[in-house]
Structure 1
Amino acid sequence: MLPLFGSLLLTVFSACAQTTLTIATVNNGDMIVMQRLAKQFEQQHPEIRLDWVILEEKILREKTTTDAAAHGGQFDIVTIGPLEAPIWGRRGWLLPLEDKLSSSYDLNDLLRPMRDGASDSGHLYALPFYGESSMTYYRKDLFRRAGLTMPLQPTYDDISRFAQKLNDPAHDLSGICLRGKPGWGENMGYISTVANTFGGRWFDESWRPQFDSPEWHAAVSYYVDLLQKYGPPGSSSNGFNESLTLFENGRCAMWIDATVAAGSLSNAKQSKVASTVGYASAPIATTPRGSQWLWFWALGIPSSSKHPEAALKFIEWATSKEYIQLVAQTNGWETVPPGTRESTYKQLQYLDAAPFAGLTYRSIMAADPLHPTEKPVPYTGVQCIVIPSFPTIGNQVGQLIAAALVGNMSVDEALHKAQLATERVERRAGLLHQ
């Protein structure tokens, strides 16, 4: 009885000695894979248990921002992007990482745009898990049947023409699918690039909002008209995940969105169109500047984390070369987290399995957050502006454009209200003066 009792005590003691890491992350496919594969991390580190909080993107941002600002300590690891990382780091909400990483972690292998986006004043505040730009997805079989050819660099005139030709609502096929769900990281992530390439900008050099400009009117009018004519029913409810599902199930002839979706779309286990999907650059209008966005999801450690050393072990594991190899072995090379490491794009197995890899890499490296528009601007960021007030502004503008999309107001009215609302926010933030 004594050995059994001793074993029981040891088991109880081990359970009590475990460190529990609470990880807040977004409900995107790559993060779901991370959660599933993280059981191997727990096997390698029996002293650490992982507790997952997986949320829709908008809710994730609200909860993590509130907790980080209050130093609440609810989360040990947070999933953030290039808007949050430098601002939160500057405010002391995140731990700097550059001097804490193990010698085996190849920091210099990270793509420069991703490392720069996660840094501020020489300090690295998060490790990129996957990175993305944007591209055009299209159905090669539908194009071939209709006698159409998608150029490698389409224009928005091309997109309108193709959408009109391929739209077939009688057979549950939309000519185009785009983000319509309101939010700075949803519809505005895409609409910002449309405004950029139509020659627009969020603010002029004096921080005056530019929604009343001809360029914004042209861009938003184009977007609303395109979706109203050739988009799926209920477009104002579709974000990234909803649009991905529509395209995977063969209900969109084209989709302009994140390059990270390419892995899912080419995976025959989950995509009905895997054998027929084609890839092209994000469209351009009057200028190529800002036509494709730059984004990443990265893992950071709040300064209020109760277990920073254990958290560092996990984020190193989840963003390492070895994790990419693990995903490749488990799910196939085409599904690995893209856009973070140079070594990924030197893997011949990846290049062979992922016909989109070269385009993804070129798109990421070409996106320029320092010069996102044709006219000069006082901000950095392509589809999101790296200022603390941007989430408020982006969400307000996103709601107004969504209202124009469903016909509750005109484009002119939506942009006029966006102009006034943004001016109010900027005055309170001290960026805009009378």
Structure 2
Amino acid sequence: MGKGYQGIVWFVVAILTIIGLSGMVLAQDQPYAGTTVTIITWDTATARAIEKLIPEFEKATGMKVDWNVFAEPVLREKVIADLAAKTGAYDIFLLDGWQTARYARAGYVAALDDLLANKKSEYFCEDFAPIYLDALRYDGKLWGLPYYGHVGILMYRKDLFEEKGITVPVNTDELMVAAEKLTDKANNKFGMAMRAIKGEDNPIISTSWTWVHGGEWLDENMKPGVTSPEFIQGAKWFSDILKNYGPPDVSRYSWLEVQNTFVTGNTGIIFDASDFIGRIEDPNLSQIVGKIGYALAPAGPHGPVTERYASHLFTAGMGINADSKNIDAAWLFLQWMTSKDIQMRTMIEGGNTGITSVSAMASEEFSNTYPGVPVILEALKLANPDYMPHIAEYPELCESIGTQISRTVTGEASVEDAMKIAYDDMYKVLEQAGYYQ
């Protein structure tokens, strides 16, 4: 570790307590005074809420924080360019849980285990939801701290359910029927919306449902599993419910379009990220506040939700650049920004609903501010962090599956034909990576 590491244990604890709880200035030693740490993340409520609190950290530590926020596509380009060039321009960067294996194997991100080895820092990780923390592990090591997370839940118009005599679906057949009852295409009203855009944005949703039907990306021999009867059945269900009961342009929907069609009252049911609650319950942004119900995703034909939950699990961690010249200072800031107290403040003051702290999620402040919290907590217990594979080739496999499933929603290809193309693409990627030698 860098110079002064052994002497800052008390300082870390004091900073987390003093800044996190009251914003007071620490008057004692400031081992990193004058050091600038540079962070890059995406533009979310979480990022904007943390940014407002950074001056408190700077005042207490004497450090400077260069906080850079970008839209997701720009973020990805900048991060990979810096990591590949090994310039260390960004000390801390957003680490997608599904990309952890890729970045760790490439040597781009610093393992945090040595930094956590001191017992006085160890307590810090115990408050994270284990499923979020585990998403940032690879090869037995921890590569980031959970900065933001969500899990899949069903969000629906409880007023329309009551009006049409619909009960909350407990299985995928019932969800299909509910979507049909809510669809009135002549009046631009639709039953169900989910992400179906080409590329990597849809598999986190679509393969939640192939998982529910018993399908998996890869079989026990690491061969593509997307042509299995179970995967085909799940992909057909996903395609059918959107083709028949979704908005006409749903094949181009990312998370934002799913959110928009719901808050404008055009679609009665969505399945997506639990952190949607911040916007869909905001009277300044949503036309349906007070009319929303929350439920676990229904079971599929392959078993109860306790065995095969439509997980839609996502964790955004913050990792330390392996080429950073300020690893110890970056570690101090990383602990502060992901601490329970900062998460509580960003939730209360900034609308951050993607919190990863168990105690913050279980707090009265969270449950009193946002409905649906009990459902979120239950979904986190049921979600499987391995419903998609944590391997370095994830991005290429994800792109292929997402592109082909989107083609089935447009009607451009049958599920069987599309999944055969996905199989061939995936096989080539895995073969080139050496899985079949």
TM-score bin, normalised by smaller chain: 0.7 to 0.9
Aligned to 2:191: 175
**Residue deviations 1:173-195, cap 9 Å, x none?**
321110012233x1111111111
AA of the residue aligned to 1:72: T
Of the candidates 158, 176, 193, which is equivalent to residue 140 of structure 1? Answer: 158
- Give SS of 2:153's match: strand
> Cα distance 1:415–1:328, how it changes in 2: closer, same or farther (>3 A)?
closer
AA of the residue aligned to 1:356: G
Matched, 1:238 2:253: yes
Offset at 1:19? 4.8
- Contact 2:192-2:268 at 8 Å conserved across structures: yes
How far apart, CA to CA, are the structure 2 residues paired with 1:21 and 1:248? 38
- Contact 1:86-1:117 at 8 Å conserved across structures: no
How far apart, CA to CA, are the structure 1 residues paired with 2:298 and 2:74? 30
Give aligned pairs, total: 398
- Contact 1:24-1:55 at 8 Å conserved across structures: no
Offset at 1:313? 3.1
- Contact 2:51-2:67 at 8 Å conserved across structures: no
Matched, 1:410 2:414: yes
Aligned to 1:391: 395
- Give SS of 1:176's match: strand
Q: How does 1:4-15 map onto structure 2 within 5 Å? A: none
How far apart, CA to CA, are the structure 2 residues paired with 1:262 and 1:216? 30
> Cα distance 1:156–1:37, how it changes in 2: closer, same or farther (>3 A)?
farther
How far apart, CA to CA, are the structure 1 residues paired with 2:406 and 2:77? 20
Matched, 1:216 2:231: yes
- Contact 1:224-1:405 at 8 Å conserved across structures: yes
Aligned to 1:29: 45
Of the candidates 329, 332, 337, which is equivalent to residue 318 of structure 1? Answer: 337
**Residue deviations 1:278-303, cap 9 Å, x none?**
10111221123142232211111111
How far apart, CA to CA, are the structure 1 residues paired with 2:85 and 2:392? 16
AA of the residue aligned to 1:174: F
Offset at 1:242? 2.4
Offset at 1:410? 2.4
Of the candidates 164, 174, 180, which is equivalent to residue 158 of structure 1? Answer: 174
- Contact 2:43-2:69 at 8 Å conserved across structures: no
- Give SS of 1:256's match: strand
Offset at 1:338? 4.0
> Cα distance 1:232–1:35, how it changes in 2: closer, same or farther (>3 A)?
farther
Aligned to 1:228: 243
Aligned to 1:280: 295
How far apart, CA to CA, are the structure 2 residues paired with 1:400 and 1:285? 22
**Residue deviations 1:295-347, cap 9 Å, x none?**
2111111112243334323322221122123224424xxx4444522211442
How far apart, CA to CA, are the structure 2 residues paired with 1:72 and 1:356? 44
Aligned to 1:255: 270
Aligned to 1:9: none
Aligned to 2:110: 95
AA of the residue aligned to 1:146: K
- Give SS of 1:175's match: strand
Offset at 1:218? 1.6
Scaled by the length of structure 2, the TM-score of the pair is: 0.83
- Contact 2:54-2:65 at 8 Å conserved across structures: no
Offset at 1:275? 1.0
- Give SS of 1:204's match: coil
> Cα distance 1:89–1:172, how it changes in 2: closer, same or farther (>3 A)?
same
Matched, 1:130 2:155: no
- Contact 1:268-1:275 at 8 Å conserved across structures: no
Aligned to 2:25: none
Q: How does 1:287-366 map onto structure 2 within 5 Å? A: 287=302, 288=305, 289-331=308-350, 335-338=351-354, 340-366=356-382
How far apart, CA to CA, are the structure 2 residues paired with 1:177 and 1:40? 41
Q: How does 1:415-434 map onto structure 2 within 5 Å? A: 415-432=419-436
How far apart, CA to CA, are the structure 2 residues paired with 1:344 and 1:302? 28
- Give SS of 1:247's match: helix
Report the aligned-residue RMSD. 2.5
Of the candidates 257, 267, 272, which is equivalent to residue 282 of structure 2? Answer: 267
- Contact 1:339-1:360 at 8 Å conserved across structures: no
Aligned to 1:13: none
Percent of aligned pairs sharing the same letter? 28
> Cα distance 1:121–1:406, how it changes in 2: closer, same or farther (>3 A)?
closer
- Give SS of 2:419's match: helix
Matched, 1:83 2:98: yes
> Cα distance 1:391–1:121, how it changes in 2: closer, same or farther (>3 A)?
closer
Offset at 1:274? 2.2
Aligned to 2:14: none
- Contact 1:139-1:277 at 8 Å conserved across structures: yes
How far apart, CA to CA, are the structure 1 residues paired with 2:64 and 2:58? 6
AA of the residue aligned to 1:429: A
How far apart, CA to CA, are the structure 2 residues paired with 1:402 and 1:213? 18
> Cα distance 1:121–1:201, how it changes in 2: closer, same or farther (>3 A)?
closer
How far apart, CA to CA, are the structure 1 residues paired with 2:132 and 2:218? 24
- Give SS of 2:346's match: helix
How far apart, CA to CA, are the structure 2 residues paired with 1:30 and 1:264? 13
Aligned to 1:400: 404
* More divergent stretch after superposition (280-289 vs 84-93): 84-93
Aligned to 2:203: 188
- Contact 1:339-1:364 at 8 Å conserved across structures: no
Gaps of 5+ in 2: 1-32
How far apart, CA to CA, are the structure 2 residues paired with 1:367 and 1:158? 21
- Contact 1:221-1:411 at 8 Å conserved across structures: yes
AA of the residue aligned to 1:417: I
Offset at 1:400? 1.8
AA of the residue aligned to 1:176: M
> Cα distance 1:46–1:252, how it changes in 2: closer, same or farther (>3 A)?
farther
